[in-house]
Amino acid sequence: MNTTRYAVVTGADRGLGFALTEGLLERGWHVFAGSYLPDWPQLAELQSRYPDLLVNLPLDVSSDSSILSAAAAVEERTRRIDLLINNAGVITDRNDDSIRMTQDYDEMIRLYQVNALGPIQVSEAFLPLLEQGELKRLCYVSSEAGSIAKAERTAWFGYCMSKAALNRGVHQLFDRLRPDGYSFRLYHPGWLRTYMSGTLNEEAELEPSESAEPALNYFLGSTLPWDGKPHAIDEDQLVMRDYQGREWPF
C-alpha cells in the first residue's frame, strides 16, 4: 500500500479552503491547492512552510480551460490523486432581492458557474487521476441553502438554485461512480467568517478552522461520532451532513 497521499483542493486561497489545505498538510498529505487569487498572500506563506508537500496552482473553476490546465499541471507531477475537495464557492450581495425586484441574471449565471457547474467540471477533469488513486474520494462543500425540503428563504434565487443543482450533480456522479469504488462526501460547513461575498463576514458563527476540522474528519474518515461512539458511514448512501454530523434532507 502506498503511504504517500495526494489531494486537490479548490478555492484554497483563504477561508475554508485554506483551512482544509492547512489541515491536510498537517496530516502529511501532498496537496495541490487551486488558487483563484494570485495576490492573496496566505497560500504563498503556507508554501514556504510546506515546500515539499504543497503545490499552488492557478485554478478558476468557472473556466473550463483553467480546469483542464490545472489537471494537466497536476498530472505532470503525479499519476494519481486520492482526494478531491471541491470547495470553491461564491455568494452575492443581491441575495435579498425578492421576485418583485429586478433580478440580476448575470449574477445568477456567475454563481451557477462557480458553485454548481465548477465542481462537476473539476470532478470530470480529475477523474483519470482519481481512477488511479487508492481512496477515490470526491468531496463537495455545499450548503444547507441547497436543501429544497428545508428551504425557508423567500429569495436568494441565484445562491440556493446553484447549491441545489450542485447536490443534484453530485448525486448523479455518485450514481455513476459509486459502482466503480468511488466514495463521496457532501458537506454543509455552517455559516463561516469568510470572504465568500468578497469581504470578510464578521457576523457569521464559525471561524473557517472550526468547520475545517470536522470537515476533514468527515472527508478522510470512515466513521462519524454519534452518541459518543463512532458509527460507520454508509458509503452506499449519499447524504449531506453539516459540521456537527447532522444529516440535511435534499
Partner 1 sequence: MDRTAWILNLREPFGAALGRELVSRGWKVLGGDPGEQEQPNSEAQRGSGPAEGEKIGENPDVPTGSGSSGFEDFEGSMAFGPETNGRSVVKKSEAQSEHSKGDALTDRGDPLSADNPLPEHGKLKAFPLNPDQPGELEQAVQATAELATHIDLLILNTDESSETGGRPIFPTDAAAFREKETGFSMPETVESRLYDYETYALTPLRIVEKLLPLMEAEDRLKRICFISSHEGSISAGGASAPIGQAMARTALHMQAKLLFNDLRRSGYTFRLYDPGLSRSSVPSSDELMGSIPGKVAESARFAAGFFTNPHADEERLVLTGSRGEEWPF
Helix, strand, or coil here: 25? Answer: helix
Whether residue 90 contacts residue 115, with contact meaning beta carbons closer than 8 Å, is answered with yes
From CA 17, how far away is CA 158, in angstroms rounded? 22
- H/E run at residue 162: helix 157-177
Question: Which residue lies nearer to partner 1 by CB, 2 or 65?
Answer: 65
- Minimum distance of partner 1 from residue 99's CB (angstroms): 6
- Minimum distance of partner 1 from residue 58's CB (angstroms): 18
Q: Extract the C-alpha cell encoding 140.
A: 463537495
- Minimum distance of partner 1 from residue 59's CB (angstroms): 15
Whether residue 118 contacts residue 88, with contact meaning beta carbons closer than 8 Å, is answered with yes
Give the dihedral of Cα atoms 185, 190, 193, 194; nearest 10 deg: 40
Question: Which residue lies nearer to partner 1 by CB, 20 or 88?
Answer: 88
Helix, strand, or coil here: 113? Answer: helix
Helix, strand, or coil here: 44? Answer: helix
- H/E run at residue 230: strand 229-232
Question: Which residue lies nearer to partner 1 by CB, 98 or 132?
Answer: 98
Helix, strand, or coil here: 229? Answer: strand
Binding site for partner 1 (CB under 8 A): 64, 98-100, 102-103, 105, 108-109, 112-113, 116-117, 120-121, 146, 148-149, 151-157, 160-162, 164-169, 171-173, 175-176, 238, 249-250
- Give the number of residues written for the chain: 250
- Minimum distance of partner 1 from residue 219's CB (angstroms): 20
Question: Which residue lies nearer to partner 1 by CB, 6 or 174?
Answer: 174
Please tell me what DSSP assigns to residue 117: I
- Minimum distance of partner 1 from residue 88's CB (angstroms): 15
- Minimum distance of partner 1 from residue 243's CB (angstroms): 21
Question: Which residue lies nearer to partner 1 by CB, 133 or 146?
Answer: 146
Question: Which residue lies nearer to partner 1 by CB, 206 or 233?
Answer: 233
Question: Which residue lies nearer to partner 1 by CB, 97 or 213?
Answer: 97
In 3D, which of 143, 138, 17 has the Cα closest to residue 87? 17
- Minimum distance of partner 1 from residue 157's CB (angstroms): 6
